[in-house]
Structure 1
């Protein structure tokens, strides 16, 4: 079995980012349906951020003349039994993305692809913030005496950078 190339992994990750975007829409919708507007708003924004990540990867592939194939995505989870379930899912998703980005970085390095390696550095930095944000949100939810405590925390605090980072790579078609 051959090891996937950096470009193969990048194509797969485009699909993973779109899948994460869709999953975050499902999470946001679930929170919205539970009358938790702050959590809903947070995850609607996260969905856009994940979409932008996919579009950054597409822009990179276009700029490097790498064939772009948009993979399909698996079905998302829509039903949750408690407020912590979607947060656990989100944290696990971000941890998986971190492992994927690390693998892409290693692949670029092993292929002596300095541009690919450099491109992945921004995503590695981004994943530190993503995992930390989801960990904090889950911790707050687990410690909260009631759901309003979580809502108040999100309304009061800044969690992550909200997808606004001037050092971010360009997104194909422009970031939303």
Structure 2
């Protein structure tokens, strides 16, 4: 059974993950509006991944005998000046989520909730990947500057990303 503080924190994280999915859908819409379909695909894939993260938290709360409480999802930003600005916002957001995950780990440790701490380690690793992925795209966009050919090459590369559901953990 989850303790009250841990349950509230997990419910807050479900909302944060749902917001992340919503934010990436807004970014997808931005890229669709400027005909960068590959970047749009990357964002849609990211939105799917964030929804999967929310569902991992959702399922864990239920598995631990807690009650999921869904709250309103905040409205995300919807306009950016450049593709680089979008990916810089992605990195900033993922750094924020990393902080949230780290806070959850700290809470699990202080509550002596070893099951939650173990569960959260997957997200700790995931956040390293999330930040690295955004940083790599930012560096490429900075290298090409205003070169439209380079932008179209990056767009094509990002268009190949496919959402893959992770394999369930071995029982």
Q: TM-score range by the shorter chain?
A: 0.7 to 0.9
Range with greater deviation from structure 2 (44-53 or 157-166) = 157-166
Asked whether the equivalents of residues 37 and 159 of structure 2 are also in contact (C-alpha less than 8 Å), the reply is no
Q: CA deviation at 1:7?
A: 2.0
Post-superposition Cα deviations, 1:13-39, rounded to whole Å, max 9, x if no partner, equal 111100110110010110111111110
- The whole-number CA distance in structure 1 between the counterparts of 2:40 and 2:169 is 25
Correspondence for 1:35:
35
Number of the residue aligned with 2:116: 116
CA displacement at 1:148 relative to structure 2: 3.9
Evaluate the alpha carbon distance shift between residue 38 and residue 161 of structure 1 in structure 2; reply closer, same or farther with a 3 A threshold. Answer: closer
The TM-score, its normalising length taken from structure 1, stands at: 0.85
CA distance in 1, matches of 2:53, 2:25: 15
Q: State the match for 1:153 in structure 2.
A: 154
1:44 aligns with 2:41: no
Deviates more, 1:72-81 or 1:149-158: 149-158
Q: Which runs of 5+ in 2 are unaligned?
A: none
The residue aligned with 1:17 is: 17
Give the drift of 1:70: 0.9
Alignment of 1:12-161 (within 5 A): 12-145=12-145, 146-153=147-154, 155-156=156-157
Report Cα offsets for 1:67-98 as digits up to 9, x if no partner: 11012111111111111111111111100000
Give the Å deviation of 1:138: 1.2
Alpha-carbon contact 1:130-1:160 (below 8 Å) kept: no
Gaps of 5+ in 1: 170-176
Q: 1:159 to 1:8 in 2, by over 3 A?
A: farther
For residue 136 of structure 1, give the secondary structure of its aligned residue in structure 2: helix
Contact residue 14 and residue 71 of structure 1 kept, 8 A? no
CA-CA distance at 1:124 after TM superposition: 0.5
Task: Please tell me whether the aligned partners of residues 41 and 158 of structure 2 are also in contact (alpha carbons under 8 angstroms).
Answer: no
The residue that corresponds to 1:166 in the other structure is: 167
CA contact (8 A) 1:101 1:120 kept: yes
CA RMSD, Structure 1 to Structure 2 (Å) = 2.3
Higher mean Cα deviation, 28-37 or 145-154? 145-154
- TM-score normalised by the chain length of structure 2: 0.88
